């Protein structure tokens, strides 16, 4: 009998990159320098800063400055990053019955939206365009 394992970080990253590739070209053109990281959970400092007690509550996070707030004089900072948290994503996947592909795409697009400084309504429109 074959053992079935939960999707690993590489699988989550492949799903996220595939979702990113489906975004409209105008958005993809500004994502080349974004670092995509898949981690098991957000660390304790991030959870505390975001006001979460339960590490399963945070499925993704954008860190960086939104595109509209960047300046040519910005130097020495960390690269913009999208963090996806594997264990909370897997729990939400099991709890909701949504496909893992759709869930990862949803979280990724939400974080891409933060990169562009978009409203929630704009993020939903972007998600619909990438479907």
pLDDT tens by residue, 81-93 = 999 999 999 999 9
Q: Does any domain span residue 71?
A: no
What's the domain range around 59? 9-65+78-130
Mean pLDDT within 5-15: 95
pLDDT computed for residue 2 by the predictor? 57
Please name the residue that has the structure tokens 């795409």: 105
pLDDT at residue 131, rounded to an integer: 67
Angle (deg, nearest 10), helices 100-116 and 9-21 = 60
Total domain count, the chain? 1
CATH number for the domain that contains residue 125: 3.30.2010.20
Place of tokens 């963090």: 83
- Write down how long the chain is: 131
What is the spatial distance between Cα 47 and Cα 109, in angstroms, rounded to a whole number?
21
Does residue 3 form part of some domain? no
Shortest CA distance to 10 belongs to which of 2, 64, 18? 18
- Return mean pLDDT, the chain: 87
Digit-coded pLDDT (tens) for 25-76:
888 888 888 999 999 999 999 999 999 999 999 999 999 877 766 555 556 5
Residue 104 within any structural domain of the chain: yes
Collapsing DSSP to helix, strand or coil, 37 comes out as strand
Q: CA angle 119-12-20, nearest 5°?
A: 45
Q: Does some domain include residue 2? A: no
Residue 20 lies in a domain: yes
- Tell me the per-residue pLDDT of 98-110, one tens digit each, with 9 for 90 and over: 999 999 999 998 9
Distance linking the first and last C-alpha atoms of the chain: 36
């Amino acid at each position: 009998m074959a053992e079935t394992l939960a999707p690993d970080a590489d699988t989550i990253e492949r799903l996220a990159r595939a979702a990113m590739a489906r975004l409209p070209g105008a958005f993809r053109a500004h994502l080349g320098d974004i670092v995509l990281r898949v981690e098991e959970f957000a660390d304790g400092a991030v959870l505390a800063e975001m006001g979460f007690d339960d590490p399963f509550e945070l499925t993704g996070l954008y860190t960086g400055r939104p595109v509209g707030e960047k300046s040519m004089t910005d130097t020495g900072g960390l690269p913009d990053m999208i963090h996806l948290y594997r264990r909370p994503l897997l729990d939400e996947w099991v709890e909701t019955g949504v496909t893992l592909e759709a869930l990862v795409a949803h979280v990724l697009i939400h974080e891409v939206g933060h990169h562009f400084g978009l409203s929630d309504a704009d993020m939903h429109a972007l998600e619909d365009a990438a479907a």
